[in-house]
């Protein structure tokens, strides 16, 4: 199968949020999140690779600016998307930092159907985390999200279309576009 190019995708997509809008959303989120960690405990900050990387980095600086220290680790869980049964989640890397008794803050690019973050959150709880908060740059608006997962902090809400940019890929392309685009007419 030939993979469409990024240029082809951009030609049939439109920009939902530009860089300034996303940066402003992340600054707003940082204010909310700072207030949620007022007790001085240092959360374990888990970036969900790959898509969560740009957002997580920017959010981390905004939190540092507000006096919240973070302990960094990361995980990589990726969905097979229809090529297998069940949740279809493959763990490519699990965090090495012990979580017993810790507060965990997950940073990912998008909450779509929720399979990824549900499994990740449950795994953190199984490891002994006492609290798991979820921060996502984007939440997709539809009624297909699985039960048992919700984002505590959301940057922007996107329509029910395939979106890419700002960490999110179009066939592994376009992750470093500094804006979010939607395919089609949404």
Ligand X SMILES: O=P(O)(O)OC[C@H]1O[C@H](OP(=O)(O)OP(=O)(O)O)[C@H](O)[C@@H]1O
Q: Kindly list the catalytic residues.
A: 112
Count of residues touching ligand HPA (by CB under 6 A): 6
Determine the number of helices (DSSP H) and then strands (DSSP E) in the chain: 4, 9
Strands 180-183, 13-17: pairing is: antiparallel
Q: What is the DSSP string of 77-125?
A: EEE--SSSSTT-EEEEE---S--TT-EEEEEEEEESSSHHHHHHHHHHH
Q: In what order do the strands lie in the sheet with 163-164?
A: 13-17, 180-183, 163-164
Q: Which does residue 163 bind out of ligand X, ligand HPA, none, counting CB within 5 to 8 angstroms by kind? A: ligand HPA
Closest CB 69 distance from ligand X, rounded Å: 25
92 to 111, contacts with ligand X by CB under 6 A? 108-111
Residue 22, interface with ligand HPA (CB under 6 A)?
no
56 to 115, contacts with ligand HPA by CB under 6 A? 110, 112
For ligand X, which residue of 79, 97, 154, 183 counts as binding (CB under 6 A)? Answer: 79
Closest CB 112 distance from ligand HPA, rounded Å: 4
Closest CB 180 distance from ligand X, rounded Å: 13
Shortest-Cβ-distance residue relative to ligand X: 51
**C-alpha dihedral sign at 12, 58, 28, 44:** positive
Task: State which residue, 10 or 111, has the beta carbon closest to ligand X.
Answer: 111
Per the listing, tokens 């898509």 go with 51
For ligand X, which residue of 4, 169, 173, 186 counts as binding (CB under 6 A)? Answer: 169
- Name the β-bridge partners of 168: 165
SS3 22: helix
Q: Say whether the peptide bond before residue 50 is cis (omega within 30 degrees of 0).
A: yes
SS3 136: strand
Count of residues touching ligand X (by CB under 6 A): 15
Phi first, then psi: give them for residue 37, nearest 5 degrees.
Answer: -120, 50
For ligand HPA, which residue of 131, 150, 162, 175 counts as binding (CB under 6 A)? Answer: 162
Give the binding site for ligand X (CB under 6 A).
48, 50-51, 78-79, 108-116, 169
Give the binding site for ligand HPA (CB under 6 A).
110, 112, 162-164, 168
């Amino acid at each position: 199968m030939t993979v469409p190019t990024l240029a082809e995708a951009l030609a049939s997509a439109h920009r939902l949020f530009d860089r300034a809008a996303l940066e402003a959303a992340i600054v707003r989120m940082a204010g909310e999140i700072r207030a949620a960690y007022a007790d001085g405990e240092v959360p374990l900050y888990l970036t969900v690779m790959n898509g969560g990387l740009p957002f997580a980095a920017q959010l981390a600086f905004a939190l540092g600016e507000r006096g919240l220290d973070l302990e960094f680790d990361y995980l990589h869980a990726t969905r097979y998307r229809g090529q297998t049964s069940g949740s279809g989640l493959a763990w490519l890397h699990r965090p090495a930092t012990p979580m017993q008794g810790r507060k965990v803050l997950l940073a990912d690019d998008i909450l779509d159907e929720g399979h990824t973050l549900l499994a990740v959150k449950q795994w953190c709880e199984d490891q002994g985390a006492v609290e798991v908060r979820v921060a996502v740059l984007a939440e997709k608006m539809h009624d297909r999200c699985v039960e048992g997962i919700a984002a505590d902090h959301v940057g922007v809400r996107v329509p029910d279309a395939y979106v890419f940019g700002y960490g999110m890929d179009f066939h592994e392309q376009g992750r470093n576009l500094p804006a979010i685009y939607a395919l089609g007419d949404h």
